[in-house]
């Protein structure tokens, strides 16, 4: 199976003067779930090359077995340093698409026209789209075949308002994920803050926070295995 993982290229946390990017756990955990299952994983980002790492996700209290494995994995580090350009990616070459989070996607992937088109093409081709934590921002402009928002009527999750408040960034982010998804007609669901929580509805797979990233990848693999 062939899986496209799309990471952010955005590194500025609004006007705060702080850096952001992708969240290491949300890349590393799914990457190894896919890798260990024998999947062919392609990494891409809007700008190509090395995507920016949210420095907070490299802090000691954010480390997990998956991030520790990545920090010792020269091959994975090399692959991450040379992501392909998102504009060169085509739906026909993959079986599924997975978006790791971090705050970066709120600024670039949420608005990226090629990402929007890819998501719509994957769904039209009956291929799953997965996004974890802040990455469900990618559904902001995606439209279904009937002209309605892609997530309308779909059960989804994403980083909650209470979690955003807890990290002190509610007034920094360009929009609230929980509010945006609800405004687009989605049925937003959440668990307790920081608890692993995934929601799978049809071809749309979402995870609430970093703790949900491995479970989301496993659910995506299980879906692909059923179709093989």
Q: Are strands 40-45 and 2-6 parallel, antiparallel or unpaired?
A: parallel
Q: What is the pLDDT of residue 167?
A: 96
Beta partners for residue 156, in sequence order = 188
List the one residue out of 165, 113, 171, 172 whose CA is nearest residue 140. 113
Beta partners for residue 83, in sequence order = 49
Q: What is the pLDDT of residue 227?
A: 75
Q: How far is CA 43 from the centre of its chain?
A: 12
Which tens digits make up the pLDDT trace of 31-52? 999 999 999 999 999 999 999 9
d(CA 182, CA 165): 18
Q: Are strands 198-201 and 204-207 parallel, antiparallel or unpaired?
A: antiparallel
Q: What is the pTM of this model?
A: 0.98
- CB 214 within 8 Å of CB 174: no
Q: What is the pLDDT of residue 45?
A: 98
Which ranges of the chain have pLDDT less than 70? Answer: 228
Q: What is the pLDDT of residue 228?
A: 56
CATH second-level architecture of 2-227?
A: 3-Layer(aba) Sandwich (3.40)
Record the tokens describing residue 66, joined without a space: 């998956």
């Amino acid at each position: 199976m062939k899986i496209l993982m799309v990471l952010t290229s955005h590194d500025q946390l609004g006007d705060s003067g702080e850096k952001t990017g992708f969240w290491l756990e949300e890349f590393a955990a799914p990457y190894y779930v896919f890798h260990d299952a024998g999947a062919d994983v392609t990494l891409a980002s809007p700008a190509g090359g090395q995507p920016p790492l949210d420095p907070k996700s490299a802090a000691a209290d954010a480390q997990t077995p998956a991030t520790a494995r990545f920090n010792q994995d020269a091959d994975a580090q090399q692959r991450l340093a040379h992501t392909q350009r998102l504009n060169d990616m085509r739906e026909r070459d993959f079986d599924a698409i997975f978006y790791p989070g971090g705050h970066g996607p709120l600024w670039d992937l949420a608005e990226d026209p090629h990402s929007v088109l890819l998501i719509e093409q994957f769904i039209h081709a009956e291929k799953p789209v997965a996004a974890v934590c802040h990455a469900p921002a990618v559904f902001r402009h995606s439209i279904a075949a009937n002209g309605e928002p892609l997530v309308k009527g779909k059960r989804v999750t994403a980083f909650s308002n209470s979690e955003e408040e807890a990290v002190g960034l509610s007034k920094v982010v360009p929009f609230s994920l929980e509010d945006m998804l609800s405004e687009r007609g989605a049925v937003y669901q959440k668990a307790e803050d920081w608890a692993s929580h995934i929601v799978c509805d049809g071809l749309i797979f979402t995870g609430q926070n970093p703790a949900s990233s491995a479970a989301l990848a496993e659910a995506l693999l299980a879906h692909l295995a059923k179709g093989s």
